[in-house]
Every structure is written in C-alpha cells, then in structure tokens.
Amino acid sequence: MSSATAISLDQDVWRPKYNPWLIAVVVAMAAFMEVLDTSIANVALPYIAGNLGASNDQSTWVLTSYLVSNAIVLPISGWLAGAIGRKRFFMACLGVFTVSSLLCAVAPSLGLLLFFRVLQGAGGGGLQPMAQAILADTFPPQQRGLAFALYGITAIMAPTIGPTLGGWITFNYSWRWIFFINLPVGILTWLLVRRFVEDPPYLARLKAAGVKLDYIGIALLTLGIGALQVLLDRGQEDDWFGSHFITTLVVMAAVSLISLVIWEWFQKAPIIDVRMFKNFNFAGASLMMFMLGIMLFSSLVLMPQFLQTLLGYTSELAGLALSAGGLVLLIEMPIMGQLTTKIQARRLIAFGWLSLSIAMYYSTQRIDLQISFSAATWLRIAQVIGLGFLFVPITLAAYVGIAAEKNNAVAGIINFMRNMGSSVGTSMVTTLIARRSQFHQARLIEFTREGNPNFQNSVNGLAQRLGHAGMSPPDAQMGAYARIYQSIQAQAGTLAYIDTFMVLCVGAGIMFFLSFLLKKNEPGGGGELAAG
C-alpha cells in the first residue's frame, strides 16, 4: 500500500475524540484574535507616536513590522506543521503571539515595540492557516463548508471590527490596552487547544519521516516577502519609483521571489510546495483569494476614508455606516456554508463575483458629496453581499483534487494569498486615490481661469455674500477663491473614488469569467471532484 493511499484511508477513518464544533470554536477564537490584530492598531498610531516620542512617519512601522513577519511565516506554516507537528506548532504560535502581546503592551520605546511586533507577527502567522487546516481535517467532507463558514466569519469580520474597537479602546483607555486584551483570550485558547485539539495519524507519520531544512528557500522567502511587504506599505508615501529605497526593494523582491519559485520547484521537500500550482483549481482559487483580499480591504479602506475626509464624518460615525455590512456578513456566512452542500462551489463563486462587480459599478453611480448616512449604509451592504458568496466556496475549491496530506500547505498558501491581496489592495487604492485626485484637480482647474466669465461670476457672487456677512472686500475676494478651491478638491477627490470603484468593478468582472474554468466539485463532498 502506498503512503498516499494509507494517508487517504487514515483520513477516511479518523475522527476527533471531541465534538468537531467545539474544536472549531476554539481554533476560530485564535484566528479571530490574530486577524483582529492586523487592523486594530491602525487608529492608535498617533497616540503611540505621541506617547513614545516618535514621529507619525516612524509609528507606521508598528504596522509594517507586524505585516512583514506575518507574511513570511504564512506560506511556510504548512511545512513547519509537518516538521514539528500541527498541534505543537499551533500552540507554539499561540504562546509566542500571547507573550509578545504582553511585551508590546509594556514596551517603553518604539524600538522595542517594533521588535515585539515582529515576534507577534511571526507567532500570528501560523494561526490562520493552521486553524483552517484543523477544520479541514476535523470535519467530514459534507460538513466542511459549514466549518469554513465559521472560519470565514473570523477572517472577514475581524478587519471590519478592528479599527472601530481599536479607536474606542485607545480613546477611552490607552493604546496599550489594544495589546493587553489579547492576554486572556490567548491564555484561554492555548489551554483549550491543548485539551481538545489533536493531530490526525497521517501527520504523525509525516513528522516521523523527518524534514530537511531548506536554508536557501527560507533566505529567499524572507528577503522576497519582506521587501515586497515593505514596498507595498511604504510605496505611496515614498513616491514609488521616485524613491531609490522603493526601487531597490522592487528589484530585491522580484529577484528573490522568482529565484524562490525556481529553487522550490526542484526541491524534494520544499518549504513551499509550488508544484501544487500545477493543479488549475488550486492556482485559480489562489488567484481568486488574492483578489478577494484586494476587494475586501479596498472597500474597507475606501468607504470610511471617503466619509471621513470628504463628508466630515467622525471615525465612530463612519464605523457605524460600515457596521450594517458586517451584520449582513455575519448572517450570510452560515447560509453559505449550507448552500455549499447543495450547489457547486464554482457557481456560488461566479454569483459572488457578479454581485461584487455590480455593487462596485453601483458605487460609481451612487458616490457623491450629498450622499446621506442611510444611503452610505445601504451602499456598504450592497458591497459585502458578494463577499459573503466568495470566501467559503473559494476555500472549498482550493481543496478540489488535492490529497489530504497537503491540507496544511493548502491552508498556508491560501491564507498567504488573501493577506498579500489585502496589502496590495490597501496600497493600490491609496495610490489610485492620490493620483486620480491630482489628475481630476488639474482638469477642473482649467475651468477656473480669470478669463472664464462663469468662474468670475461665481467668485464675484460668493465674494458679495461673504461681504454681506461682514468680511472686508479684499478678505471676501480671497475667501471666495479659497472656498472654490476647496470645492474643486472635494470634487476631484470624489471623482478619484469613482475611478477606483470602477477598477474594482472590472477586476471582479474578470474573476466572474474565470469562475467557469474551475472544476466541478461534489456539493457537500469537500474537496471531491464531481462525477462525470
């Protein structure tokens, strides 16, 4: 009997000692805590800078340092789990994450805080993929969609909640409490994992077979992903290719990652099994998960930023406008888990991308400077409906035709692709908003020349009203010009948001057509191909 056949039989026979849903809740707690930490510190950066005597520019490394180490560990988590055992690796990640959270909370300087954030990101890097892999092995194929729905709630809800929760904690208590709150959750989850989670027999055999340490692969991965994450995080701020630093990072990332793929392709025991991309379904699902990360975080950045910068909403009010969308996802995810047992994953995926494309196009028609709070809330609901149809089916599609012993590797790469998509999406929309605002402002300024009678009439009329309000003629004239310029900036910004939503609309539309190229899966059959 071949080892692959033995593993397959083990997977068919083995079932956990404890209720699978109890295990699911435990590992979902760990994943939620980690995903929450990727966004909860965003709004606390000015407070951290002020408290630790750093500039706002320096404080952004609190985010970058975490994302870099997190992104490095994600794709190799499957390899690490095979080397030391999945449960042991999961518990080690939980322990490192929890202890480093405490160290971040008591850090006396920015330098130490950044070091502890690197440790925290490394510990958190293994939590998401291992939680997903545990769910894939714990549940029988017909229930896998429901299990992934629970995981999807943590992966999609946590980034939505993070900024609002972080802002509330920082404003009412201290930025240090955004790290302190991880302690009780981390300790409780570690104890529960130790008690209830166990490794399937095939993982014990893989561990016993031994794993060769690939030093060159690890070095190339660290250099490539580290450089890529830093350039995505700092690119717009440093003017992309106008910066020698960013250009150097681009070259370093490209050379390292291309070399990594070539090197790993010919390794017998690679740290990242790039040969899995020969499976079209896995490659297509990875691309779609990358695009899902872009869509999720792009819309998560665009809506509150538009409401706060152009409409003057407070962070709390902008968060409330987004909260209804989060509630819809919370209701939608379990329904999606049920639908995967009745409808092929690729059909659900196609519907999700089509819904998302329509919602993004609708956003281009609905976004304006007069949009009401209720209209913004409904717009956000429209944007998230499609997201709910994507996460679970895409995750299921990634497992189609993949052997059970690859579950850890699948989970690591899929989660890595979503996280990189979120970084690319955030960087992309930030750049698009800035560049397109400049473009539209330059076009609108052409209509504000002295020789334009309509412009001159507007200035004179506004100056006259300001004069009636008590301003002197020179001040009224200058005030009129200033207010018209403010109006031009607001209109240019709005047009930039419209352009960005259109880009997202096109991206979702392309994914819609790609959905039909995915293989048919057996509804309720996990990663099984459909017969016929």
**What phi-psi label fits residue 210: left (phi over 0), alpha (psi between -120 and 50 degrees) or beta?**
left
The ranges assigned to domains in the chain are: 1-211, 213-268, 280-434+501-532, 439-492
The pLDDT, as a whole number, for residue 4 is 44
**In terms of pLDDT, which residue wins out, 161 or 508?**
508
CATH number at 1-211? 1.20.1250.20
Distance CA 99, CA 267 (A): 35
Query: Strand, helix or coil at 529?
Result: strand
pLDDT band at 210 (very low <50, low <70, confident <90, very high): low
Which pLDDT tens digit goes with each residue over 238-254?
A: 878 888 988 999 999 99
**Predicted confidence band of residue 208 (pLDDT cuts 50, 70, 90):** low
Top-tier CATH class for 280-434+501-532: mainly alpha
Cα(446)–Cα(452) distance, integer angstroms:
9
Q: What percent of the chain has pLDDT over 90?
A: 21
> What crossing angle do the helices spanning 280-309 and 144-172 adopt, rounded to 10°?
30
pLDDT given at position 104: 92
**pLDDT band, residue 422 (cuts 50/70/90):** confident
pLDDT value of position 57: 67
Mean pLDDT of 50-69: 78
Burial class (CB in 10 A: 0-12, 13-18, 19+), 400: buried
Please report the sign of the dihedral spanned by the C-alpha atoms of residue 399, residue 405, residue 406, residue 408. positive
- The span from the CA of 294 to the CA of 282, in Å, is 18
Tokens of 27: 């590992």
Please write the tens of the pLDDT for every residue from 340-369.
888 888 899 999 999 999 999 999 998 888
Burial 173-184 (b: 16+ CB within 10 A, else e): eebbebbbbbee
Computed over every residue of the chain, the mean pLDDT equals 83
Tens of pLDDT, residues 80-102: 887 888 889 999 999 999 999 99
Question: Residue 209: which pLDDT band, with cuts at 50, 70 and 90?
Answer: low
pLDDT(465) > 80: no
For the cut 80, the answer to whether the pLDDT of residue 16 exceeds it is: no
- Inform me whether the pLDDT recorded for 115 exceeds 80: yes
